[in-house]
Structure 1
Amino acid sequence: MASEANKMGLMGLTTIVTVNMMGSGIIMLPASLAQTGAISLLSWLVTAIGAMCIAYAFAKCGMYCNKDGGMSAYSAEAHGRSSFFIASYTYYVCLVISAVAIAVSCTGYLEPFIPWLKQSPINTFIGVVAILILTMVANFKGPRITGQISAFTVWGVIIPVVGLSIIGWFWFDPKVFASAWNPHNMGTMDAVSSGIALTLWAFLGIESAGANSGTVKDPQKNVPLACMLATSFTAVVYIASTAVIQGIVPNAALATADAPFGLVYTYMFNKEVGLIITALAVIACIGSLLGWQFTNAQVSRAAADIKLFPKIFGEVTKDNAPIKGMLIMLALELALAVMTISPSLVKQFNVLVNLAVFINMVPYILSLTGLEVILRNNKVGSKEYKTGAVIGSLAVIYSIYGVYACGAQAVFYGAILTLLGYLFYGFIAAREANASLKA
């Protein structure tokens, strides 16, 4: 265990949580949100509040539940062993979908350098497949290499996005922003709901916020506070960068952009600067994809270690890489890429994001509803319990709203995928029952 002098302080933890949250999820969102208009900024405000509630609740879960499995372990505290499997399964499916969405983003940002990718949907599909294969193979050398690459490449998106939110205001034109406010004359609630799933997508990963509370000074105070500060800062950057881009690039051009951040820097400076930003975004996407694919391999490996996933997912090489499990994941990603081929990268991205967000809300809701049990089991004080219960309930309510905002199609297909998980768990439960009878 780390000595008190070597433990991390509030600002160090806040920085780490911020970097973990600000992956590549933001880089296609300005184009997606522009299809609704600048009124989608209201979605960011709602999501910022919901994300802070989720961050606080997960921080508390991470502090008081020391069992392996993260969200799955929190879920099992309230709902039992079957929910451990369903949370792991749906999180696994979500990360498969997310990997394809990130590969789609990366392909969009690659098009200025490789125009061939935009000539047909098949060309785009080939680009997505190539990126998925490249990043998966890079993970074969194990966690050390993946960690080093991801820690460096994430700054390829953080620097341009944070930079835009600060300096972009010098190019901001209120008339451009006003004309982009509500181009389709949508009702306010409809406009907010249309952007909730997209904005929530940008905060996915928040569930890892309280994972390292043992290495933090005064964790009862600093872990929740760091989560709230990191989420608040991230929300401010997201809102500011989205607002300023709507006031620089005309809505019609932004809504069809395959590389929106490259486009806005082209408007601000010149084509060469835009290409540099686009290249940084490509690097960030590749690093983010490496990290998410590695994370998913570890999720399935952990589930296999406790016999909730087939044992093939737990087999590792001398480099500690579960290659067989990774190849299964790659096959699922490629199948999903085939099923979501679209003439428009933005449209394909939106379909994938809505489905990913719905699927991810299943483990969110299961695990967040375990918070009160976790607090009770740890005999926390009355004030801490009531605060956790209220904020945790708000986090669940927001997560349910996130499900609604994903739309009927995402909910329909997401529900089918979730129910398939129960089919798989039936075989696992039967196997365990048989083993107990033989014991």
Structure 2
Amino acid sequence: MPPSEKKLGLWTSTSLVVGNMIGAGVFLMPAAMASFGSIGLLGWVFSAIGSFFLAKVFSNLSKLLPHATGGPYAFTHTGFGDFAGFLVAWGYFIATSCANAAITISLVSALSTFFPVLATNPVAAISTGLCAIWFITYINTLGVVTSGKLQLTTTILKVLPLLLIAIGGLFFIQAKNFIPFNSSGKTTFDAITATAAMTMFSFIGIECATVPAGSVENPGKTIPRATILGLLIATLIYILGSVSVMGVIPASVLQHSVTPYADAAVIIYGSNARYWVSAGVAIAAFGALNGWTLMQGQMPFAIAKDKLFPAIFSKQNKKGVPYVGILLNSVLVSLFMSMNYTKGLVEQFRFLLLLSLLSMLIPYLLSAAAYLVIKAAKKQTTGWPGAVALAVLAFSYALWNIAGTGKDAVYYGFLLLMASVPFYVWVAYKKAGE
């Protein structure tokens, strides 16, 4: 157990939540939502409410199991046993590897503003992406505190340009830009459902403070506070930023923008603002890559300790870092990222991203279900009406979003999980023989 000075505190844990939630993708979200009209703002609100239920479940589970490293895996494993826990860990690891590849591509894309060759030369783009991946890998092998400090720094730097646009844009808003309210051609309910499904992906990462629980100082208090605080900070930035960008740029222009925050910054602060917004996108991607890489060491470490992954994943270096999972993740991320720049493999890369969608939601679903099981196992006799209501709401929200990912994601995501069954049978057999 690392000493307290080598553990993550409240603000570093909060930066894991905020930094992993706010990736480069949020900078494009206003343009993606513009075709729906200002009703898209309600999508943010509904996603924030649903995510609060999930965040509260994770907070309560962290109080019940304060030292459970692995977050959703640990909760599912405790509640439903080896097989369910294994499926969550497997899906989470693969999904995060795909997500890290997409984050790396976003980083390279943002850097192309300053180095145009990255937009036209695949070799330069791949080389830059690989350098970023393996530099982050090196940082994460130096210890959880070092990667945590980097996460806190990049989170502050990525939040600043978003806040500058979110707050500065309030003085340039034109009410006419919010009309029509619903331009999607769908019913109000269908439009809200569609926009809530889109914005939900910006809330993935609310569980991140729970994953390195063994490296968090006073986890029973720190993790619940960091989870809720991180969600509130991200929600404020999301909604306020969307209001400003949508209010500054007409919807007819916004829906065709490939850099909506940068376009809004130019209107608010002048032409040079485009560059510091692009820098913000790059920092956002870099920070998210760092945070998710940290997750990729902790998840295999937790499941290996339970003898459901090969024992090599439980090995730690002199800094107490479970480095094998990080190294394997970086190899996979490097492979997936390179696929995107290889003609003929782009569709395969997109297919892998499609597979990852469901795998990021199932841990939420099962964690919500495990909450009541664990509460009963701990023989808690109070607070049951509120706990049941919370679990039902969080479970329903996760299930709703799984349905919202579409039948292809559900089908192929299910196949991805089932592909792990032979591996599980093998490790379960070895575990039973020990």
Q: Would you call these one fold, judging by a TM-score over 0.5? A: yes
Alpha-carbon distance in structure 1 between the residues aligned to 2:342 and 2:188: 29
1:80 CA displacement: 0.9
1:277 equivalenced with 2:277 (yes/no): yes
1:288 CA displacement: 2.3
Alpha-carbon distance in structure 1 between the residues aligned to 2:223 and 2:326: 32
Answer whether contact 2:206 2:230 (CA < 8 A) is retained. no
Q: Deviations over 1:266-312 (max 9, x none)?
A: 22112222212321331232122112112211211222233222233
Answer whether contact 2:86 2:308 (CA < 8 A) is retained. yes
Instruction: Specify the alignment match of 1:390 in structure 2.
Output: 389
Q: Cα 1:348–1:230, aligned 2, differ >3 Å: closer, same or farther? A: farther
1:418 CA displacement: 1.3
1:352 CA displacement: 7.3
Letter in 2 for 1:195: T
Structure 1 unaligned blocks of 5 or more: 2-7
Instruction: Specify the alignment match of 1:334 in structure 2.
Output: 334
Following superposition of structure 1 onto structure 2, how do residues 97-246 of structure 1 map, counting pairs within 5 Å?
97-119=98-120, 127-178=128-179, 182-209=182-209, 215=218, 227-228=227-228, 230-246=230-246
1:33 equivalenced with 2:33 (yes/no): yes
Match of 2:249, SS state, is: coil
Answer whether contact 1:135 1:290 (CA < 8 A) is retained. yes
Q: Mean Cα displacement is larger for which, 404-413 or 387-396?
A: 404-413
Alpha-carbon distance in structure 1 between the residues aligned to 2:44 and 2:304: 37
1:376 equivalenced with 2:376 (yes/no): yes
1:390 CA displacement: 0.9
1:35 CA displacement: 5.4
Answer whether contact 2:339 2:349 (CA < 8 A) is retained. no
Instruction: Specify the alignment match of 2:47 in structure 1.
Output: 47
Q: Deviations over 1:247-282 (max 9, x none)?
A: 223445544545433332122112222212321331
Alpha-carbon distance in structure 1 between the residues aligned to 2:225 and 2:149: 27
1:423 CA displacement: 2.6
Match of 1:247, SS state, is: helix
Q: Cα 1:338–1:214, aligned 2, differ >3 Å: closer, same or farther? A: closer
Answer whether contact 1:38 1:246 (CA < 8 A) is retained. yes
Answer whether contact 2:129 2:337 (CA < 8 A) is retained. yes
Provide TM-score, normalisation by structure 2: 0.83
Match of 2:293, SS state, is: helix
Q: Mean Cα displacement is larger for which, 46-55 or 286-295?
A: 286-295
1:171 CA displacement: 1.3
Answer whether contact 1:21 1:203 (CA < 8 A) is retained. no
Match of 2:39, SS state, is: helix
Q: Deviations over 1:96-150 (max 9, x none)?
A: 1221222232223222112222237776555544433442344343333322211
1:411 equivalenced with 2:410 (yes/no): yes
1:95 CA displacement: 1.6
Instruction: Specify the alignment match of 1:77 in structure 2.
Output: 78
Q: Cα 1:230–1:174, aligned 2, differ >3 Å: closer, same or farther? A: same
Q: Deviations over 1:301-333 (max 9, x none)?
A: 222233222233333433444444333212322
Following superposition of structure 1 onto structure 2, how do residues 242-257 of structure 1 map, counting pairs within 5 Å?
242-251=242-251, 253-257=253-257
Q: Cα 1:356–1:91, aligned 2, differ >3 Å: closer, same or farther? A: same
Alpha-carbon distance in structure 2 between the residues aligned to 1:324 and 1:223: 25
Answer whether contact 2:34 2:254 (CA < 8 A) is retained. yes
Q: Cα 1:125–1:422, aligned 2, differ >3 Å: closer, same or farther? A: same
1:44 CA displacement: 1.0
Match of 2:207, SS state, is: helix
Answer whether contact 1:22 1:203 (CA < 8 A) is retained. no
Alpha-carbon distance in structure 1 between the residues aligned to 2:349 and 2:274: 22
Alpha-carbon distance in structure 2 between the residues aligned to 1:408 and 1:122: 36
Letter in 2 for 1:63: K
Answer whether contact 2:91 2:356 (CA < 8 A) is retained. no
Answer whether contact 1:90 1:359 (CA < 8 A) is retained. yes
Instruction: Specify the alignment match of 2:430 in structure 1.
Output: 431
Alpha-carbon distance in structure 2 between the residues aligned to 1:342 and 1:191: 36
Alpha-carbon distance in structure 2 between the residues aligned to 1:33 and 1:255: 7
Match of 2:419, SS state, is: helix
Alpha-carbon distance in structure 1 between the residues aligned to 2:243 and 2:353: 21
Alpha-carbon distance in structure 2 between the residues aligned to 1:404 and 1:291: 28
Match of 2:132, SS state, is: helix
Letter in 1 for 2:204: L
Instruction: Specify the alignment match of 1:60 in structure 2.
Output: 60
Give the share of equivalent positions with the same residue, in percent. Answer: 26
RMSD: 3.4
Structure 2 unaligned blocks of 5 or more: 2-7
Q: Cα 1:319–1:65, aligned 2, differ >3 Å: closer, same or farther? A: closer
Q: How many positions carry a matched residue from both structures?
A: 417
Answer whether contact 1:200 1:357 (CA < 8 A) is retained. no
1:154 CA displacement: 0.7
Alpha-carbon distance in structure 2 between the residues aligned to 1:196 and 1:175: 23
Q: Cα 1:305–1:226, aligned 2, differ >3 Å: closer, same or farther? A: closer
Provide TM-score, normalisation by structure 1: 0.82
Answer whether contact 2:104 2:337 (CA < 8 A) is retained. no
1:37 CA displacement: 4.5
1:361 CA displacement: 1.2
Letter in 1 for 2:55: A
1:62 CA displacement: 0.7
Q: Mean Cα displacement is larger for which, 144-153 or 243-252?
A: 243-252
Answer whether contact 1:107 1:117 (CA < 8 A) is retained. yes
Answer whether contact 2:17 2:226 (CA < 8 A) is retained. no
Q: Cα 1:153–1:267, aligned 2, differ >3 Å: closer, same or farther? A: same
Q: Deviations over 1:221-256 (max 9, x none)?
A: x97677556534532331121121122234455445
Letter in 2 for 1:333: V
Letter in 1 for 2:17: M
